[in-house]
A and B are shown apart, each in its own frame.
Chain A
Amino acid sequence: MTSNGSVISAQNLSVGFDKIPVLDQVSLELHPGEITAIAGPNGVGKSTLVKTLARQLRPITGSVKLGEQDIWNMPAQNFARQVAYVPQDIESSNQLTVEQMVFLGRNPHQQWWQWNGSLNDAAAVEKALADTELKKLRHTPMTKLSGGERQRAVIAVAMAQEPAFIFLDEPTSHLDFKHQIELLALLKRLKTQNIGIMLVLHDLNVIARIADTVILLDNADEIQPSRIAARGNVRDALSAENLKKVFHVEVKTYTDPNTGETVYNPFSVA
């Protein structure tokens, strides 16, 4: 793992496409070993923010720094050694096996001409396959995997990068309950390895189970770009009052007596 202890920080960020901001005035910090969830209604700019922080999209104004360095002043390969990004849609046409796919996660650590990895590369791939419980499927083509297995394989690629931070864009969207629970357990294991995680999530109950910090985005004025409406721990950021303001729904909240986690029940349009 590289650069443990460094922080991803954004200052007065404005993000969007073709110089039209979708979301602005974003300042935040992400720390290793912390899970941050981004929530908000459709079209509020959650994915756009994650793409900008993960160096997929240049900010319109403001800057994103990894440690002291602006991420756009770093070579792409150096950045990829420290930060991994798992997109929402994964290409389905390629015929690679799980192992070949996970091995591509070692690219940031290799020379451009290198095909066969070092012992370090092999060890990192083994660990990623073991952590995602994909060892048995290592020779299976990606196209033959179920939705949950594919998602795990793509996360294994990110883990093989041995990054300090992982960004995931709606990782649970195509998963059934079982696979969702497995994914959340995996993310919690990554957290214990001091990896900083930021993920876009729609389901408030999933957020409540996993997030240390929540950033709630709001598009109150549809003409103006979205803003951060609230941030903090799950209970504070996702209060019934904030949810009503942002999602325009009435939400009942309970505390699960067994786990102590907050349970959300959106029951009517406000």
Chain B
Amino acid sequence: MVRSLGSILSRFLLLTIILVTAIVVNVCVGDVTVPPQEALQAIIGAAPQSSLTEILWQIRLPRICVAVIVGAALATSGYLLQALSRNSLADPYLTGVSSGAGLAVALATVCNLSFSAIPVAAFIGGLGASALVAFMARSPAGFSVGKLLLSGVGLSAICGAFITMILIHASSVAQGQGLFFWLAGGIAGHTWSEVIPSCIYTVLGILVAFAMSKQIRLLSLGPQSAQALGLDVAKTQWILLGAAVLMCGSAVSVSGLVGFVGLIAPHLSRRMFGQDERIQIICAAMMGMTLVLVSDLAARTLGQGQELPLGTLLSLIGGPFFLWLISSKHNKEVLQN
């Protein structure tokens, strides 16, 4: 879809307003709900030190940062996987990348690895899973979409089974419970020191995606045409896959298995902002942030005292969205390949 600059700018402004509003509401609303001015004063230290300052700096702001990072990472990762497979049905959760990362994190947890090693484990697990899925789905013209999704489902089932076995054999109840909640997907209870590694990996992944947006456009012509225009197709595919896995791994390491953000955000971004890859990457990331922020707000306010797992809530939204996408005309044709 070709959109005029004015239309893109007005939509971008709208998205920015929604994102900022979501951040402000997440700061202000919770067990203790405060007006925005009071929250701002507490954050910048204009108000005397109070329990509100403590709540905002130690609980809500790190949580918002994690939501923003996880949303941006999963959305951009999904965007890259969709560009690589040239299909809007790909996402880290459905292609097994999240499950591979999840299994590696579960293993790292029961082996009592330090927190800084968890993103590395998630990256290795995600890379292993994506390499296996890419191998299974290979075809002369790059990836077969049907095989990619089915291999992802198969691999997710295998990883899920292993994760269950790890849960059963966890050395302590606390460890098992911790793993269980992590698997259900959630972004609560992180400290600033836990946020930083994921933030670095996500920014790095987005920068790689942004820097390679012309190469992404060339890949959209198909591997033959891209190669004919001087692109080293295999190298480009591996770099983009590496960036996608890095971001997905960093998200999984802090949020557990949160699905469908990588499916919904790039799709909406494409619909709202048209073809330009650079705009799409930024807007998909912003959509992802907004989606996770809004879902997390719902997860912690709708449960009446008991928080709903974020992953579960997003699956309730994402599942029907995925089914709708499959039934759309374009994807029906693509799935037949």
Asked if A112 CB lies within 8 Å of chain B CBs, one says yes
Complex-state Cα separation, A76 to B222, whole angstroms? 16
Chain A residues in 8 Å Cβ range of B86: 91, 93
A104–B217 CB distance below 8 A:
yes
Contact A56 B228 (CB under 8 A): yes
User: How far is B224's CA from A157's CA once the two chains are assembled, in angstroms?
Assistant: 14
Determine the interface band of chain B, counting residues with CB < 8 A from chain A: 20 to 34
Does B128 sit at the interface, judged by CB under 8 A? Answer: no
Q: Which residues from chain B contact A113 at a C-beta distance below 8 Å?
A: 211, 214
**A90 at the A/B interface (Cβ < 8 Å)?**
yes
Asked if A77 is at the interface of the complex by the 8 Å CB criterion, the answer is yes
Of A87, A90, A108, most B-chain CB atoms within 10 Å: A87
Contact A84 B215 (CB under 8 A): no
Q: Is the pair B275, A91 in contact by a Cβ cutoff of 8 Å?
A: no
Instruction: Flag B221-253 by CB within 8 Å of A: 1 or 0 each.
Output: 110110111111000000000000000000000
Contact, CB under 8 Å: B230 / A56: no
Do residues B1 and A95 form an inter-chain contact, with CB atoms below 8 A?
A: yes
Q: Within 8 Å CB of A78, what residues of B?
A: 230
Give the docked Cα–Cα distance between A47 and B133 (Å): 30
Q: Is there an interface contact between A94 and B220, defined as CB atoms closer than 8 Å?
A: yes
Q: Is A96 an interface residue (CB 8 A)?
A: yes
User: Restricting to A104-143, which residues have a CB under 8 Å from any CB of B?
Assistant: 104-105, 107-108, 112-115, 139, 141
Is B274 touching A95 in the complex (CB atoms < 8 A)?
yes
Q: Which residues of A contact B229 (CB under 8 A)?
A: 80, 104-105, 107-108, 157, 161
The complex places the Cα of A86 from the Cα of B228 at a distance, in Å, of 8
Q: Which residues does chain A contribute within 8 Å of B225, judged by CB atoms? A: 87, 90-91, 157
In the complex, which residues of chain B have a beta carbon less than 8 angstroms from the beta carbon of A87?
222, 224-225, 228
- Minimum Cβ distance to chain A for residue B46 (Å): 43
B2 touches A (CB below 8 Å):
yes
Min Cβ gap A137→B in Å is 12
CB <8 Å contact, B218 and A96: no
Query: Can you list, as one digit per residue, whether each of B79-117 has a CB less than 8 Å from chain A (1) or not (0)?
Result: 000000010000000000000000000000000000000
Most A CB atoms within 10 A — which of B214, B274, B330? Answer: B214
Q: What's the nearest-Cβ distance from chain A to residue B112, in Å?
A: 43
**How far does the alpha carbon of A81 sit from the alpha carbon of B232 in the complex, in Å?**
14
Q: Are B275 and A104 in contact (CB under 8 A)?
A: no
Contact A56 B217 (CB under 8 A): no
B218 adjacent to A104 (CB under 8 Å) = yes
A233 contacts B by Cβ under 8 Å? no
Closest residue of B by beta carbon distance from A144: B2
- Rounded to whole angstroms, the CA-CA distance of A90 and B225 in the bound complex is 8
Shortest distance between the CB of A171 and any CB in chain B (Å): 14
Report the minimum CB–CB distance from B172 to chain A (whole Å): 51
| Interface status of A79 (Cβ within 8 A of chain B) | yes
Structural contact, A141 and B2, CB atoms closer than 8 A: yes
Given the known interface contacts A91-B220, A95-B2, A95-B274, the answer about A56 and B214 at a Cβ–Cβ threshold of 8 Å is: no
Q: How far is the CB of B320 from chain A (nearest CB, A)?
A: 24
Bound form: Cα–Cα A94–B221 in Å: 7
Docked-complex contact B227 and A76, CB < 8 angstroms:
yes
Question: Would you call B2 and A97 a contact (CB within 8 A)?
Answer: yes
Minimal Cβ-Cβ distance residue in A for B1: A95
Q: A87-B225, A90-B225, A107-B214 known; A77 and B230 CB under 8 Å?
A: yes
Shortest Cβ distance from B94 into chain A, in angstroms? 19
Shortest CB-to-CB span from B216 to chain A, Å, is 11
Of A84, A94, A101, A139, the contact of B228 (CB 8 Å cutoff)? A84
A101 (CB) vs chain B CBs: closest residue: B221
Contact residues in A for B227 (Cβ distance below 8 Å) = 55-56, 76
Closest to A97 in B: B2
A residues less than 8 Å from B214 (CB atoms): 107, 112-115
A97 to B230, CA, bound (A): 21
Q: For B228, list chain A residues within 8 Å (CB).
A: 54, 56, 80, 84-87
A76 contacts B231, C-beta separation under 8 Å: yes
CA of A157 to CA of B86, assembled, Å:
21
Q: Is A242 an interface residue (CB 8 A)?
A: no
Interface residues of B (CB under 8 A from A): 1-2, 86, 211, 213-215, 217-218, 220-222, 224-225, 227-232, 274-275, 278, 330, 334
Residues of A at the B interface (CB closer than 8 Å) are 54-56, 76-81, 84-87, 89-91, 93-97, 100-101, 104-105, 107-108, 112-115, 139, 141, 157, 161
Show 9 residue pairs from A and B whose CB-CB distance is below 8 angstroms, ordered by the A residue: A78-B230, A90-B225, A93-B220, A94-B221, A95-B275, A97-B2, A100-B217, A104-B221, A108-B229
Q: A87-B224, A114-B214, A115-B213 are in contact. List 17 more A-B contacts (CB 8 A).
A: A54-B228, A55-B227, A56-B228, A78-B230, A84-B228, A86-B228, A90-B225, A91-B222, A94-B221, A96-B220, A100-B275, A101-B221, A104-B218, A107-B214, A107-B229, A108-B230, A113-B211
The 9 closest A-B pairs by CB, nearest first: A80-B230, A77-B230, A108-B230, A85-B228, A91-B222, A95-B275, A94-B220, A107-B229, A87-B224
